[in-house]
Chains A and B, each alone.
Chain A
Amino acid sequence: MASQLRESKPMTTQHKSGPNLDRLYVLGERGSRQYIYPADVHGRWSRLKPWVFSVLIAIYVALPWVKIGGRPAVFIDIAARHFYLFGRTFNAQDFYLVFFFLTAIGFTLIVLAALLGRAWCGWACPQTVFLEGVFRRIERLIEGSASERQKLARAPWTLSKVLRKSAKHALYLLMSFLLAHVFLSYFVSLPGLFKMMGTSPAQHVTEFLWATALTGIMYFNFFWFREQLCLVICPYGRLQSAMQDPDTILIGYDKKRGEPRGKRDTPGAGDCVDCGRCIAVCPTAIDIRNGSQLECVGCAACIDACDDIMVKLQRPKGLVRYDSERGLAGQPRRIFRPRMVIYLLAGLVGFTVATTVWLRQVPFEANLVRGANTPYILDGDTVRNHFLLHLINKGPSATVLEVSAQAQSPIQVIIPQQSVAMEAMGSIQLPVMISLPRAASRPGLSVRMHVHEPNSGSSRDLTVPVNGPPPKPQVPGTQP
């Protein structure tokens, strides 16, 4: 129905009317991409940003270089399924920890979204950090201000334009290349990365393809895709928007103060002079005066832009400001709401479990696995259960594991070695034989094995049921 309507009546071009609530400004009439040129902005939030971005980039880049306990602080060795995190080593068996860790992180971000809206998007998301902190700076450096960039884009292809564009894209590619390698070093470690960079790609085809693909993806993302990621793809942005309520602190326009818009000396006009600066500086091209919108990534550029104008007009700052919907409507603000407590508690559960398991983590893994195809073996009047004891040393150095068994007589447990020498990150399988007379076999029997690591003093207990045949049928009238 709607498409029929559109055919019969051509749409108004949005660019005449500016950003509105009907459609994405960054998309043209038929869905084509409208490239935007956000203007430079100066102000207190804009001054803070380079510091925040620098610290975050420094952390991202430094983590693979920092060593804790002889291992990289973060090294996710997917190929060997070993995960080195801040001095601890985790194996594939420890993957369940991720659930609690993600629960904790997830609820923390939900609390943040309920409290401060999309503060994450505007200040800490890698997309923002690298786009605003690196790539737009390169663009600004080479092509100049927003209006100069726009002019250059429309200008004919002169030698100067070719040179500028090539320089910009060469720098973009270089940065994407560096970023891709930093990213890769989280998964192959720095020594691994340097080794690969010094050898032929044929010797590490997978990693080479990853590095190439990542460079390509990052280049495409940062030179062309940009805000489309936040507006169309990112599910986290939508999730955060769903977490907001009238008390969430967002970037908002004070309608009561600003409306009706008018020139400086118009009688009865509000404080907004409709200068359009807030739109010009917006990296997603929205008009913040239309209220909170899902395109808003909370970057605070419009706050600085508006404050700048207000100062020039000698009017108080804060026509556009960080405030809640209630605050903007002149109602009392609330920080603590019942939902915050619920989110915080849920997050705390995740943190508590993750920390507890983290602290109680044992530097080795021990599992008893019943021998294949043999629930039990009946050998004359003896019942046997055969197990393999899998031992894995998760530590970065060689160690010795002490194995012992507790069993009630007449159950016998035969262990080939009481103390097992383990290589660093090594694993060993020890056969264990449990035997008992058939007459003593009954359901519910079990054997407990104890594995102890003397260096850390940690140990694990393993309990396994002892299987046996069903009891021999009793002949009626006879005593067993």
Chain B
Amino acid sequence: MSEHKPEADVDTGHDYDGIREFDNPLPRWWLITFYGAIVFGFGYWLHFHVLTSGRLPRAELDAELQRIETEEAARLAQLEAEGKGVNEKLLLSLVSDAQAVERGEAVFKQNCLSCHGDKGQGVVGPNLTDAYWIHGEKPMDIYKTVGAGVLDKGMPAWKPLLGINKVRDATVYVLTQRNKNLPGKAPQGITADGKPAP
């Protein structure tokens, strides 16, 4: 093939092991995409880096997270306003709701049992059936502890894993076990009126 003589003057004289380079025009559609990409690139650069009218991925992500946070806060505030938010009143009222307690017990047995025992008597984690509390004994204290966890003691934050409803139900179950004084782990923490554990 290398002895082939091109009809037009397209031979660049480049010859690599018999493979020769000819200088032919590029397909017009290809050039259109090429110049189109340059025009687009210029517009992109103007939009994102010069006029900064567009948000780069990081800013886009931050804005999205901000939006979700605002919406979630607004949703919770709305629920609160409608009397449906998680608050002390709701938690205490659910204690007498057999279905909620049953749901809470199921959540507890799946997630909390390995540390707190099957009834909250405490194994690795503290006894939840005595009068002494490390992170507060009020219903909303318990709700917050379950949700946010106690990371340096090994208790995971459950809200991201289980969601608000399951955390609420588990809290309700813990409230039903309060002051049952089941034999288990020795008391830790303080009572509601500040008396430390023996």
Chain A residues packing against B (C-beta within 8 Å):
1-3, 5-6, 9, 11-12, 14, 17, 20-24, 27, 29-33, 225, 228, 232, 291, 371-374, 377, 379, 382, 384, 386, 388, 414-417, 428-433, 435
Residues of A within 8 A of B9 (CB): 2, 5-6, 9, 11
Cα–Cα distance between A247 and B168 once the two chains are bound (Å): 74
Q: Pick the contact of B111 from A14, A373, A384, A416 — CB < 8 Å?
A: A416
Q: Is the CB of A228 within 8 A of B124?
A: no
Cα–Cα distance between A415 and B115 once the two chains are bound (Å): 9
Cα–Cα distance between A291 and B8 once the two chains are bound (Å): 19
* B58, CB-defined interface residue at 8 Å: no
A241 → chain B closest CB, angstroms: 12
Cα–Cα distance between A32 and B30 once the two chains are bound (Å): 10
Residues of A within 8 A of B112 (CB): 416, 431
* B7, CB-defined interface residue at 8 Å: yes
- Are A232 and B111 also in contact (CB < 8 A) when A3-B23, A17-B7, A414-B124 are? no
Q: Is the CB of A31 within 8 A of B31?
A: yes
A98 → chain B closest CB, angstroms: 27
* B42, CB-defined interface residue at 8 Å: no
A25 → chain B closest CB, angstroms: 11
Q: Is the CB of B12 within 8 A of A372?
A: no
9 A-B pairs with the lowest CB-CB distances in the bound complex, closest first: A31-B25, A2-B23, A377-B154, A416-B113, A414-B114, A11-B8, A5-B9, A31-B28, A22-B6
Q: Is the CB of A414 within 8 A of B115?
A: yes
Q: Is the CB of A416 within 8 A of B25?
A: no
Q: Is the CB of B4 within 8 A of A431?
A: no
Q: Is the CB of A27 within 8 A of B25?
A: yes
Q: Pick the contact of A23 from B22, B109, B113, B114 — CB < 8 Å?
A: B22
Q: Is the CB of B151 within 8 A of A373?
A: yes
Residues of A within 8 A of B50 (CB): none
Q: Is the CB of A430 within 8 A of B110?
A: yes
Q: Is the CB of A374 within 8 A of B151?
A: yes
Chain B 111-139 per-residue mask, 1 if CB under 8 angstroms from chain A, else 0: 11111000000011000000000000000
Residues of A within 8 A of B195 (CB): none
Cα–Cα distance between A414 and B122 once the two chains are bound (Å): 12
Q: List 8 A-B contacts (CB under 8 A).
A: A2-B23, A23-B8, A23-B24, A228-B27, A415-B114, A431-B111, A432-B114, A435-B124
Q: Is the CB of B25 within 8 A of A21?
A: no
Cα–Cα distance between A416 and B23 once the two chains are bound (Å): 73
Closest to A435 in B: B124
Q: Is the CB of A431 within 8 A of B25?
A: no
Q: Is the CB of A371 within 8 A of B124?
A: no
Cα–Cα distance between A31 and B23 once the two chains are bound (Å): 12
* B81, CB-defined interface residue at 8 Å: no
Q: Is the CB of A30 within 8 A of B28?
A: yes
